[in-house]
Chain A
Amino acid sequence: MNPLTQLIEAALFSAARPLTVEELQTLEPDASLSDVRQSLDQLRERYDFNQHGIEVVELAGGFQIVSRAHFAAALERAQFTVRTPKLTGAAMETLAVIAYRQPVGRAEIEEIRGVNAAGVLRTLQERDLIEVVGRSDELGRPLLYGTTNLFLELLGLRELAELPRAEELTIALHPHVPEEPAEGEAAAYVESES
């Protein structure tokens, strides 16, 4: 392993959060971003080739050293690690709606889920999984929500694009077209109201 790879290994080992390529580059000003990426690849291959109990994963836009998944049960049994409590179904549903429709307001979330979402939104905000990303131009200027980096980390995703795309799902969701929502929504509304 070259010195840069060693340095990056030390950084990933000591940091408790995913580190981005840019952050890792600050370790060694002479190294380029592609040097850092190369070192990360080298480290990952080394862990895989030598069958280490840990691996380098890419998530939430950064890299992290984690224990391999198939040791989880043993680690938990020995109580070396504690599994984070699961989110409730309501929280997951709300996260799903926000992930796909962001930036999205509370009214739209409630319309899709059919339930009041105030409490869940507060909980998700407290857990830093969603954040307020702006305000809508609609009446009352309601807050708009989006997902955070911690959300990606929770799911072990590099980016939102890794979520299954609408056309990969068995049921096609009617596309959310921001350009002409008023017409379609209004028509649907009248239809159900008349």
Chain B
Amino acid sequence: MILTRFTETGPEPDHRLHLNQSGPPSTALGGDPGFVVQLDAYSGPLDLLMHLLREEQIDIADIPIARIADQFLGAIHQLGLNQAADYLDMAGRLLRLKAQMLLPRRLDDDTWEDPRHELVRRLLEYQQIREIVTWMERAVERRASQYARGYLPPPPVLPPPPLTLDLIEMLSAVERVIAAIPSPMFHRVVPRPLDVEGATVRLEALLAEKEEFGWLEALGPRPTITDVLSTFIALLELARRGRLNLVQPVPFAPMVIRRESTHPAD
């Protein structure tokens, strides 16, 4: 541990009475260095600090910083928390406060502000949070003893486990993927030319002849698939030009082709 215990070197009139350097650091934490308390015992440095203050029955408004700083360092040492940055941060703050308290000051210095003020504010704030937590825990307890029908707490959404694989696994995975790629397939495209123009001529002839005719009539006898497609496209094109109307009286009924009245047959 880098931080070593300070020894009292300067005057600290406010706290001299409380000092008891030779005694054990805290009755609660004991002096046995082999005893390591679980980290969970305290929810943070403020919790530990509150615990120390309670044990010593110290007035929060007048904290003997030097003593508490020493006890805090002793406690985190005993707790085996040396690695916990949160605790070391608080230890650093306490030591700085201790140093500030040791600075000599004149009694009539009105501008002097208690450097402990910020710490006290945080402790009070934290103490209030603890009080709310106690209230909340009672509420949770009360609520937990009332069971709703088939109530299941929603399962936590777990993040996907981290991917762990080595180079060989990855390369064999690549090989498996490559093996799974099917060999390329070739399609022969056979041209089947549509005769849209021929169909248009045929339809126009029919239009000139009849006011209205059916889809089967428009196709003519024994249509091939090419005839059907050509006729259909021709019908759409003529409808677009406003030469005819395409009507389907009911769904799935055969189409009825009607001459457009505004375009009499020419």
The residues of A with any CB-CB pair to B shorter than 8 Å are 13-14, 16-17, 55, 57, 59, 64-70, 72, 75, 81, 83-84, 86-90, 92-93, 95-97, 99-100, 111-116, 126-128, 150, 153-157, 163-164, 166, 169-174, 188-189, 191-192, 194
Contact = CB atoms under 8 A, between A and B. Distances in A.
Interface stretch (B9-17, B117-125, B218-226, B253-261): B117-125
A21 B42 CA distance: 43
Interface in B39-64: 40, 43-47
Contacts, number: 144
B248 interface: no
Contacts of A155: 136, 139-140, 143
Tell me whether chain B's interface is mostly helix, strand or loop, or mixed. helix
8 contacts: A66-B148, A88-B43, A90-B44, A112-B129, A171-B127, A174-B124, A191-B118, A192-B117
A64 to B, nearest CB: 5
Contact of B126 (A17, A57, A114, A194): A114
B173 interface: no
A114 B140 contact: no
Interface residues of B, number: 50
B147 A67 contact: yes
Contact of B43 (A14, A113, A172): A113
B85 to A, nearest CB: 7
Contact of B44 (A81, A113, A188): A113
Interface string B128-159: 11111101110110111111111111101110
